[in-house]
Structure 1
Amino acid sequence: MPNLRLVDDPSSDIYSKINRYASCNNEILIWGETGVGKSHCAKLIHKRSSRSVAPFIEINCSSIPPGLVESELFGHEKGAFTGAVRKHAGYIKRANSGTLFLDEVNDLPIEVQGHLLHFLESKSIHSVGSDSDDSIDCRIIAATNQCLETLIKQKLFRADLYYRLNVLPLSIPPLREREKEILPLAMDFLAELGGQHMQFSEASKEQLTKHQWPGNIRELKNVVCRATILATNDIIEPEHLMLANAASLGACSKNTESAQSIERCIRANRYNLAATARALNISRPTLYRLIKKHNIVLDPS
Structure 2
Amino acid sequence: MGLGWGENGGDVKIDGFVESLTTIPFPDGFIIKFLGDKDTFVHNYKVSADVAALLTEEEQKALNHFCICRCNNFIKVYEGSAGSITRLEILNILRGGRLDDSLVDTLLDLVRENQRASSSIKFGVVPVWFSHQIHVLKPDYQELHDIYIKRLVDEGCTNLLVPIVQGDHWHLLEFDVENDIARHYDSLKERSGHWDPVLNIVKAFNYIKAGFNENQLRSVFDPIKVPCEEQKGSYDCGIYVYQFVQAITEGRDVLHVTPEEHNTWVVRAKLAAYLLIEGRKRKKEVGKLDDDDVEM
Q: TM-score, normalised by structure 2?
A: 0.28
The structure that is strand-richer by fraction is 2
The structure that is helix-richer by fraction is 1
Q: TM-score, normalised by structure 1?
A: 0.28
**Structure label with greater radius of gyration:** 1
